[in-house]
Amino acid sequence: MGSFGFAEETASRRDSIGIQGIRYISTFLKFPTRVLPLDHRTTQSRERENEIEGERERKRERERAREREIERDEIERERERAREQREREREREREREREREKRERERERAREGGGERREGV
């Protein structure tokens, strides 16, 4: 038996397997591994690549979620600013209305008081 038993196996099969088999066996003797598919990555390396890609995808998803949260916060702050602006505008309008009413009352008093003064003068 040879170093790995390949030579004896080859010799005993040579008659029954034909020339194609001999080429395959001689190739196998030179490169004692299975024929690798075009996708030569091992299952373990593919699993690791999938894990890495999954981590990258989760990181991208967290980043997108963070961006959406920032956007929601900005929208909420803008709504709050608009609400405060409307409230200030309403308050100014109420103040103007109070001033108008106050001037109106003063005019009323002035007319009443002025009429009396004119009569008295």
Residue 7 has pLDDT above 80, yes or no: no
**Is the Cβ–Cβ distance between 3 and 10 less than 8 Å?**
no
- pLDDT tens digits along 60-99: 999 999 999 999 999 999 999 999 999 999 999 999 999 9
Task: Say what the pTM is.
Answer: 0.42
The domain spans of the chain are 1-35
What is the predicted pLDDT for the residue at 2? 47
The reported pLDDT for the residue numbered 95 is 97
Q: What is the DSSP letter of 93?
A: H
CA distance 105 to 12: 125
pLDDT digits (tens, 9 = 90+) for 16-64: 555 555 555 556 566 555 555 555 567 788 888 899 999 999 999 999 9
| Res 1: pLDDT | 46
CA distance 4 to 32: 10
Calculate ∠ Cα 88-93-95, nearest 5°. Answer: 95
Per-residue pLDDT band for 101 (boundaries 50, 70, 90) equals: very high
Enter the tokens of residue 100. Answer: 């108008």
- How many angstroms separate the CA atoms of 35 and 10, rounded? 18
- 88/94 Cα distance (integer angstroms): 10
Binned at pLDDT 50, 70 and 90, residue 111 comes out as confident
- What pLDDT does 91 receive? 97
